[in-house]
Amino acid sequence: MLLQTIAFGIAFALAATGQSSMKNPPQPYPSARKADQFDIYHGVQVHDPYRWLENLDSPETRAWIEAENRLTSAWLKKFPEREHLRKRLTELWNYERYSVPYKVAGRYFFRRNDGLQNQSVVYTQRSLEEPPEVLIDPNKLSKDGTIALKGAAVSPNGKYYAYAIAEAGSDWTEWRIRDIDSKKDLDDHLQWIKFSGVSWTADSRGFYYSRYDAPKDGDKLKEINYFPKLYYHRLGDSQAQDKLVYHRPDHKDWFFNGIATEDGRYLLIEIGRGTEEKNLLYYQDLEQPQNGIRPIIETWQASYEYLGNQGTKFWFLSNDKAPRGRIVEIDLHNPERKHWQEIVAESEDAIETASMVNNSFIIRYLHHARHKVLIKPLAGKAYALELPGIGSAGGFYGEQNATETFFSWTSFNTPARIYHLDLVNGKTTLFKEPKIRFNPEDYVTRQVFFSSRDGTRIPMFLTHHRNLERNGKNPTLLYGYGGFNISLTPYFSVTNLVWMETGGIYAMPNLRGGGEYGQEWHAAGIKTKKQNVFDDFIGAAEWLISNGYTSPKHLGISGGSNGGLLVAAVLLQRPDLFAAAVPAVGVLDMLRFNKFTIGWAWESDYGSAENEEEFKALYAYSPYHNVKPGRRYPATLVITADHDDRVYPAHSFKFTAALQAAQAGSDPILIRIETRAGHGAGKPTSKRIEEAADKLAFLRYFLTAKGSSHE
């Protein structure tokens, strides 16, 4: 959301002067061999001619990658606005920003980026008045900024900082321990950890964590991740000495999250299965370890997220008999359901998250995809926390007995502000406010509702310059996700700001498959109901067109990961609706997604080709399998990374090869393959700016200059 009126004239002048430079665009597409490869699914023969691209390191694949990057680079260099956009992105990105601080044992910890640092720096301070000290500067860990911090946990005594680093965007992390006073690392070094944090024991002598067995040589990017194990690591020991606490060789797909309670009495084990919104609960009394690990919840019936405890009374955020969430109390002495106590009942708004600070539940609700916050003390009446407006709140970290916490608030035209909250008197104070060179009052956000194909009412946020005219010709970027119970709420983005200050509209619908309205909203967009998500997105596009905001010649779509699947599926189903599409790090082969790394865990949302009914649904929309030769598809920029070990890059490779071979129109099908980068987390600022410049230059050309010339 964002910026000055004068930018409109500049942007459109750039577009107009640049049209002639694209008369002879680079061609042709790199050669991609079609192999006679097929599989049989439930009696159906399915061809997979580009499976050879799954072998990322073969000479043939490497040659194809290099040729594709050369083609894309040639196109990007010819987009007339790219350099201007890159400079503006760099200018606006250069602002100071902070993470939400948290306090442990009298110390505050937070991250700060001075603006263009590739990675944010970790700081600590004993009081809010004294100057902060650098604890870890990840920018010194690599020359190109591609080593990032992926997790951290402070020991209860405030002496040690356990932190995870990841290289080149990988999900694999290595953990080390830093002595906070000396700023030096201990000898402890833990490897082969993925999707796990650490939980310190109350005595600060060690922590619990989960890890996998080391993958075979050369297979860490591709190997399927099964059979994680829960360990206890004692400071000073080698990883080989770590104690195996819990594993289930009979369940290869179970995840383990070990949580040591603050009182030092219990180990709570949360057991998950893929990305399913259900889990089991076990515990161990650490004062009576001879009693072993005992169950609290041992059926897959709902989700239970630990919030805190007092003795044997444990509190959980759960969707058990409450699709929009509630908080329940379970006593370990009587854990049967009939003895549960409801502390916070389900309401009309879905609970997204909750935490426990000052013996109070701080509950973040979703009210039509915007946040509201309620604070409910264990003893006393609940009260609402006043927020600045339509936006998103985050943070609220702290120890269970802490009397203060911090939170962030952001919106489409407001970079994240940090607030201090005194939980004794309820006073909120602005702690940090970013200074960025634009006027937020120049931009407006409104929320609209439209009907999807089946009549379901879908919300959508629209943000643009307040002087925008609804003339049907506005370049519009429609962004979506729609999956895994993830909710899209208002957020600030420099990339979106630059898009809007050049005259663009940013539209973000809240599709089914997300968590905006609780468990039922999520369930309405998964497995055999996944088409609902695509219909919702198409409905958003049609609403924007019918209400005069834009037209197909000026409408583009974008999304990443599951959102990349969304964009690819929709551009194939309705190519007439869009002029440009940017599917990033997408899941695009829906019959083989579970064959790589952690892909099997997504079956809870997507289903599996091994199930005949689910296969039919998957095959009906799988982007790779639904490319139709001879059709005119919109200009497409596929984005992926060579180190993405979450969504294997071959998804994007195979889809691009198929779409290039099928394209009957003159608009290009391009792929941008980032090097030394992964799924997105931890990407250096320099790479983020370059990618944003490429994306915006691509969209600006195909939604403005090219579109205008074809009116």
| Phi-psi region at 201: left, alpha or beta (left = phi > 0; alpha = psi -120 to 50) | beta
In angstroms, rounded to a whole number, what is the distance separating the alpha carbons of residues 691 and 640?
Answer: 11
Exposed / middle / buried, residue 469 (Cβ in 10 Å: 0-12, 13-18, 19+) = exposed
83 — phi, psi (to 5°)? Answer: -65, -40
Q: Within 10 A of 384 (CB to CB), how many other CB atoms are there?
A: 10
Q: Where are the alpha helices (DSSP H) in 465-611?
A: 494-501, 519-523, 531-546, 562-573, 603-606
DSSP structure class, residue 512: B
Short-list 9, 119, 160, CA closest to 688: 119
Whole-Å CA distances, 435 to 93, 96, 114, 303, 416: 11, 7, 11, 40, 10
In angstroms, rounded to a whole number, what is the distance separating the alpha carbons of residues 673 and 639?
Answer: 6
**Tokens representing residue 349 in the block:** 């708004």
Which helix (H) or strand (E) element contains residue 82? helix 82-93
3-state secondary structure at position 272 = strand
Quick check: is 189 catalytic? no
Output 617-621 pairs: Cβ under 8 A, ≥24 positions apart: 617/527, 617/528, 617/530, 617/531, 618/590, 618/591, 619/41, 619/44, 619/46, 619/590, 619/591, 620/531, 621/530, 621/531, 621/534, 621/569, 621/573, 621/590
Quick check: is 561 catalytic? yes
Q: Could you tell me if 670 and 78 are in contact, meaning their C-beta atoms sit under 8 angstroms apart?
A: no
Short-list 15, 5, 7, CA closest to 708: 15
3-state secondary structure at position 162 = strand
Q: Within 10 A of 481 (CB to CB), how many other CB atoms are there?
A: 24
**Tokens representing residue 38 in the block:** 């097929």
In angstroms, rounded to a whole number, what is the distance separating the alpha carbons of residues 217 and 439?
Answer: 53
Look up tokens 């964002």; give the residue: 2
Residue type, 199: S
Establish how many alpha carbons lie within 13 A of residue 40's alpha carbon, considering only the half-sphere containing its beta carbon: 2
Tally of residues, the chain: 711
Any bridge partners for residue 673, and if so which? 640
In angstroms, rounded to a whole number, what is the distance separating the alpha carbons of residues 35 and 13?
Answer: 47
Q: Which of 360, 487, 561, 622 is catalytic?
A: 561
Q: Would strands 580-584 and 555-560 be described as parallel, antiparallel, or unpaired?
A: parallel
Cα angle vertex 487, ends 484, 490, to 5°? 150
DSSP structure class, residue 45: E
Whole-Å CA distances, 381 to 118, 361, 367, 384, 393: 45, 11, 21, 10, 22
299 — phi, psi (to 5°)? Answer: -130, 145
Q: Could you tell me if 653 and 53 are in contact, meaning their C-beta atoms sit under 8 angstroms apart?
A: yes
DSSP structure class, residue 334: B
Q: Could you tell me if 254 and 269 are in contact, meaning their C-beta atoms sit under 8 angstroms apart?
A: no
Which helix (H) or strand (E) element contains residue 695? helix 685-700
In angstroms, rounded to a whole number, what is the distance separating the alpha carbons of residues 320 and 303?
Answer: 7
**Tokens representing residue 289 in the block:** 């370890």
Residues forming the active site: 561, 679
